């Protein structure tokens, strides 16, 4: 027997997109969430006297309606500050973005290489990310930062990636290639909860979102009967179904989905992530909020010092250090214990924690789906799948629902736009 008590809009996933949709569409809804808490990739964890997010999170948006929603939800529990990001290069900390700060580099040879810029001899526009880097910034910046950093981040040959997305993510990409979103700049202001971790935004959003069924994993979707079935055997009827689950997994749940769609979605690529979380005694001095590490000999591509995020966290005697290590079939990750040991050693050597014995506790979380990869065929696969799903009353949104490297604010914005379109046809 199907359950319909909470309305005909069923939302799969209580991450930013699912919560924003449920909180804003105005009609009855039910969220089905496989985990035991809200937030998705924006969850927070506390241990050893330190508070961690799953990766480095802060809030910044170009969308006025998203800023208004989050501002209204958080009220007094909110702080903003100028973003402080650096690049670790040969024992120096260079201000972000690298391409605008090459004069800070002590090695005059590297400065000269980076100042040389692009050669300007390309016969045609680059058709992959690797070629785009060199065409846009030149061999020097490509060699000393852009290529090694992005190879670590994306865990693959950069020639496998398209380059239509660069205006969204890379400072200095010209002309901008995305409407609405631009890369964070040196003077960007970012927000964070005044008390607690980044997940507090989504806990507040959940208060407006209506009922959530936790620990229910969707395993089958019946198009003819418009039923969702979970692993526990429960069934939920829907008039509209909105999914934030990974697109290939969604299509695999639909028995009547054309095999060519399922096969195409299986070719979508992603980056996995190990987040090494280290609770440590704080070393003297200040640390940046973000530290980017292009050096191939260091496993992590980014380190976030989460206690830089709010005044309350700064007052804690411990430091919360989150080291992001990308991995993929093309670039396997070291074992967790090795990652933890080497990152603690590197932090201590660089005086970012008070010696290797300062580490109180370390844990590593594996995030199998961290970043969708913008390959050349990604856009066409997603557009075709979305069109077929929409014809059956199913919409797919969010980072992995749309297979797009979207921040939480972009996921919220997408949900708000969908809420406006669904509003007139939902039962009241």
pLDDT digits (tens, 9 = 90+) for 194-211: 999 999 999 999 999 989
Cβ atoms of 184 and 169 within 8 Å: the answer is no
- pLDDT bin (cut points 50, 70, 90) of residue 417 is very high
- Look at residues 273, 266, 220, 302 and name the one whose alpha carbon lies nearest to residue 403: 266
| For residue 79, pLDDT beyond 60 | yes
Give kind and range of the element (H or E) at residue 166: helix 166-169
Cβ atoms of 154 and 144 within 8 Å: the answer is no
Region of 155 on the Ramachandran plot (φ > 0 left; ψ -120 to 50 alpha; else beta): left
Residue 389: the pLDDT is: 97
pLDDT digits (tens, 9 = 90+) for 336-372: 999 999 999 999 999 898 887 888 999 999 999 999 9
Residue 188: the pLDDT is: 84
Quote the DSSP letter at residue 299. Answer: S
| For residue 174, pLDDT beyond 70 | no
| For residue 159, pLDDT beyond 60 | yes
- pLDDT bin (cut points 50, 70, 90) of residue 121 is low
Residue 186: the pLDDT is: 65
CA distance 332 to 343: 17
| For residue 72, pLDDT beyond 60 | yes
Q: What is the mean pLDDT of the chain?
A: 92
For 350, other C-beta atoms within 10 Å of its C-beta total 14
Encoded tokens for 274:
């190990």
β-strands 9-12, 29-32 pairing: parallel
Q: Which fold has domain 2-43+199-268+374-425?
A: FAD/NAD(P)-binding domain (3.50.50)
Domain ranges (residues) in the chain: 2-43+199-268+374-425, 85-187
Quote the DSSP letter at residue 326. Answer: E
Quote the DSSP letter at residue 54. Answer: S
pLDDT digits (tens, 9 = 90+) for 49-69: 999 999 889 999 999 999 999
The model scores a pTM over 0.75: yes
pLDDT digits (tens, 9 = 90+) for 285-311: 888 999 999 999 999 999 999 999 999
CA distance 316 to 120: 51
């Amino acid at each position: 027997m199907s359950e319909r008590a909470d309305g005909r809009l069923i939302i799969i996933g209580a991450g930013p997109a699912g919560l924003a949709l449920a909180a804003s569409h105005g009609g009855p809804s039910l969220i089905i969430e496989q985990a035991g808490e809200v937030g998705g990739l924006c969850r927070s964890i506390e241990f050893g006297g330190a508070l961690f997010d799953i990766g480095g999170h802060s809030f910044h948006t170009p969308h006025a309606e998203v800023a208004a929603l989050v501002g209204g939800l958080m009220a007094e529990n909110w702080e903003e500050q100028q973003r402080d990001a650096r690049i670790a290069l040969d024992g120096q900390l260079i201000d972000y973005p690298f391409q605008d700060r090459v004069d800070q580099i002590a090695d005059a040879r590297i400065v000269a290489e980076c100042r040389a810029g692009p050669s300007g001899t390309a016969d045609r526009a680059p058709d992959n990310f690797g070629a785009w880097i060199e065409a846009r910034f030149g061999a020097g910046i490509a060699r000393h930062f852009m290529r090694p950093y992005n190879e670590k981040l994306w865990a693959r040959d950069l020639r496998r990636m398209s380059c239509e997305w660069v205006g969204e993510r890379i400072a200095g990409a010209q002309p901008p290639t995305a409407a609405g979103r631009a890369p964070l700049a040196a003077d960007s202001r970012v927000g964070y909860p005044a008390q607690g971790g980044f997940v507090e935004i989504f806990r507040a959003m959940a208060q407006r979102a209506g009922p959530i069924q936790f620990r229910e994993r969707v395993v089958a979707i019946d198009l003819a009967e418009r039923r969702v079935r979970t692993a526990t055997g429960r069934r939920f009827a829907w008039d509209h179904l909105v999914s934030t689950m990974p697109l290939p997994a969604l299509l695999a749940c639909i028995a009547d989905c054309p095999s060519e769609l399922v096969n195409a979605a299986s070719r979508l690529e992603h980056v996995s992530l190990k987040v090494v979380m280290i609770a440590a005694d704080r070393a003297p001095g200040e640390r940046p909020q973000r530290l980017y590490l292009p050096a191939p000999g260091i496993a992590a591509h980014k380190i976030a010092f989460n206690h830089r995020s709010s005044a309350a966290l700064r007052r804690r005697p411990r430091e919360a250090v989150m080291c992001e290590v990308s991995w993929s079939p093309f670039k396997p990750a070291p074992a967790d214990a090795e990652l933890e040991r080497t990152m603690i050693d590197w932090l201590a050597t660089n005086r970012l924690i008070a010696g290797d014995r300062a580490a109180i506790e370390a844990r590593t979380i594996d995030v199998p789906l961290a970043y969708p990869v913008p390959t050349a065929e990604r856009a066409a696969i997603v557009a075709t799948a979305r069109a077929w799903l929409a014809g059956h009353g199913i919409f797919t949104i969010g980072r992995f629902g749309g297979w797009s490297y979207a921040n939480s604010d972009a996921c919220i914005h997408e949900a708000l736009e969908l809420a406006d379109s669904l509003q007139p046809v939902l039962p009241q």
